[in-house]
Amino acid sequence: MIFEEKNINILLIEDEEFDVRRVKNTISPFSSRIKIVETFSNGKAAVEYLQSNKGEIDIVIMDYQIAGGLMGESLIQKIKEIDNTIQIIVITKMTVNISDYNFANKLIKAGAFWYCTKYPGDIEDYIYQPTDFLLSLFNAYEKSLLEKERFRSQLKLRRNVEDILFQKKIIGESPVMKELKEEINKFAKSNVNTLIRGASGTGKELVAYNIHYRSDRKYENFVIINCGSLPNQLVESELFGYEKGAFTGADKKKPGLFEIAHRGTIFLDEVTELPLSAQVKLLRVIQDGEIEKIGRTEKVKVDVRIIAATNRNIEEEVKEKRFREDLYYRLNVLPIYVPELKKRPTDIPLLIDYFLSNISIDMGRDKPEIPEETMKVFLNYDWPGNVRELKNVVQRILFHAESVVTPTLARRAIGVGELSQGQVDSNLADLFNPGSILPLKDFEKLIRERYFRFVRMNSNSDTEAARKLGLAPPNFYRMAKELGLKTTE
Ligand SMILES: Nc1ncnc2c1ncn2[C@@H]1O[C@H](COP(=O)(O)OP(=O)(O)OP(=O)(O)O)[C@@H](O)[C@H]1O
Ligand SMILES: [Mg+2]
């Protein structure tokens, strides 16, 4: 029975001895569980007590009219400000009209849980009809428990979001990056589809995280899908799901990523890689807010914000009819451009310092020093792989465990030159990261790029590098250019 389980702490605010006794009498059958922790005859003293004993009181029972300034609605509001989970029961004199709904409304609006009118003064044993009074106390206690629980889980969620935003912090104080951060804050507040453009490794995914976790959808799912990483025939079932028996092999139903992202955000990375049939369906989701599950006739309503990203020239894809124009316009409502690292050189030292600090901590070692002439090496470099490349370079530097990073070490880390076999392998290890599996063509590109650099670092000229790679020099230059490498040509 609910009456038997509870241990309830009460603070009583009442300035008439007679009424204090009547409240105590009313709850006395449950005195082992319901405790009047303190009694105050004025509002200010009660508020001070609550302020210095947070979390102790579950319910406040208060007389409406009470000596000493702070009383009535303002006292209720004050108590709720201190702890919103405290439930307040107001007892008033009979002089207040018992059918004064306006009065009741004002109390509830101020934050009271319940109110009742005291019995006439000739009744000494009870303040109010005892079972009603006790039932309300227990209900108030239940509500305080629920609100405490809700408060705790909100706090937890808020902390999680803060943690994520801390891990996904966008480093950069250059004017373009400041502008980008302002745009993110602005775009996060709106609910509109966003297209993030920018070269590989500039931080598009990071931007997507920041938009979601700064938006009102932050406590809902953030679902990431790399459209280029799925075989064409799987894209639609991943995005939209299917019903049991929709096709041979569909032995149970599968929710699509759009359903999982319901009320949250979906991040469609490399969106230009979507096959045309999936593009049609995506367009319908955007237009109607409904998904068509494979094998299901009725549609499923979803509320999902779409953030898409691409490092391709999407207008070119539209022109070549590989990407639907109508879809392009629907996605590109709020365009965001993440600039290349070489366009914001003042961010380079900040990023180097950021990754040096973080990765040193992860590796449990001291952060090495970067002298000015070493910083020049970083500043003069082009960073075709942008921030991702810079992060990898810092990682390589830290493998060397030097306390001062010399310009030579910096150059080597950039060029992956003269590294031992073990170090080359560990540099490859970051490509074998289950968290960021790349499409084969990107993987090949990265491997090629790294190998090109490695061979060039170990050659006296580009012609020699070309010869070592078994390439005719024009082919070598063309490929180096495609890989974003500077050549001497
Ligand atoms: N401004 C930045 N501050 C801190 N870290 C960054 C910043 N930009 C990028 N990074 C880090 O660099 C790496 C690459 O970033 P991200 O994956 O967001 O790039 P991307 O633009 O999505 O690249 P791709 O086009 O290759 O998918 C990540 O580890 C990311 O956390
Ligand atoms: Mg990315």
* Ligand 1 atom at shortest distance from the alpha carbon of 204: 21
Compute the distance between CA of residue 316 and CA of residue 319 in angstroms, rounded to an integer.
5
User: What is the mean pLDDT of each successive set of 10 residues along the chain, which is 489 residues long?
Assistant: 69 95 95 93 94 93 89 94 96 76 91 93 92 95 94 89 96 97 95 95 97 96 91 87 82 89 96 94 92 81 96 94 96 95 96 95 89 94 94 89 90 65 52 70 80 78 84 83 68
pTM of the model: 0.68
Pocket residues: Cβ below 6 A from ligand 1: 170-172, 198, 200-206, 311, 387-388, 391
Ligand with an atom nearest the CA of residue 173:
1
**Ligand 2 centre and the CA of 71: distance in Å?**
59
Residue 232 has a pLDDT of 82
**Ligand 2 centre and the CA of 385: distance in Å?**
12
Helix (H) / strand (E) element for 232: namely helix 232-240
- For 297-375, where are the E strands, in sequence order? 300-301, 305-310, 334-337
User: Looking at domain 168-339, which CATH architecture does it have?
Assistant: 3-Layer(aba) Sandwich (3.40)
Compute the distance between CA of residue 34 and CA of residue 185 in angstroms, rounded to an integer.
49
Ligand with an atom nearest the CA of residue 177:
1
Give me the residue spans of the domains in the chain.
Answer: 2-151, 168-339, 342-482
Ligand with an atom nearest the CA of residue 181:
1
Compute the distance between CA of residue 410 and CA of residue 377 in angstroms, rounded to an integer.
7
Residue 435 has a pLDDT of 61
For 247-274, b where at least 16 C-beta lie within 10 A, e where not — what string? Answer: eeeeeeebebbbbebbebbbbbbbbbbb
Contact present, 284 and 245 (Cβ < 8 Å): no
The CATH number, out of the four listed (3.30.1490.20, 3.30.43.10, 1.10.760.10, 1.10.8.60), of the domain defined by the range 342-482: 1.10.8.60
| C-alpha dist (Å) from residue 308 to 36, 183, 191, 221, 350 | 58, 16, 14, 16, 28
* Nearest-CA residue for atom 26 of ligand 1: 200
Compute the distance between CA of residue 338 and CA of residue 203 in angstroms, rounded to an integer.
7
Q: Which of 206, 225, 391, 483 to mutate to test the pocket of ligand 1 (most atoms within 8 A of CB)?
A: 206
Residue 434 has a pLDDT of 67
- Non-local (6+) Cβ contacts of 135 within 8 A are none
Residue 242 has a pLDDT of 87
- Dmax (CA) for the chain in angstroms is 111
Q: Which residues surround ligand 2, an ion (CB under 5 A)?
A: 205
User: What angle, 0 to 180 degrees and rounded to 10, lies between the N-to-C axes of helices 101-110 and 72-82?
Assistant: 30
> Would you say the CATH fold of 342-482 matches that of 168-339?
no
Residues pairing with 463 in the sheet: none
Cα angle 468-472-476, degrees, rounded to a multiple of 5: 75
Compute the distance between CA of residue 190 and CA of residue 194 in angstroms, rounded to an integer.
10
Helices (H), 65-129: 72-82, 101-110
Residue 5 has a pLDDT of 64
| 2-151: CATH number | 3.40.50.2300
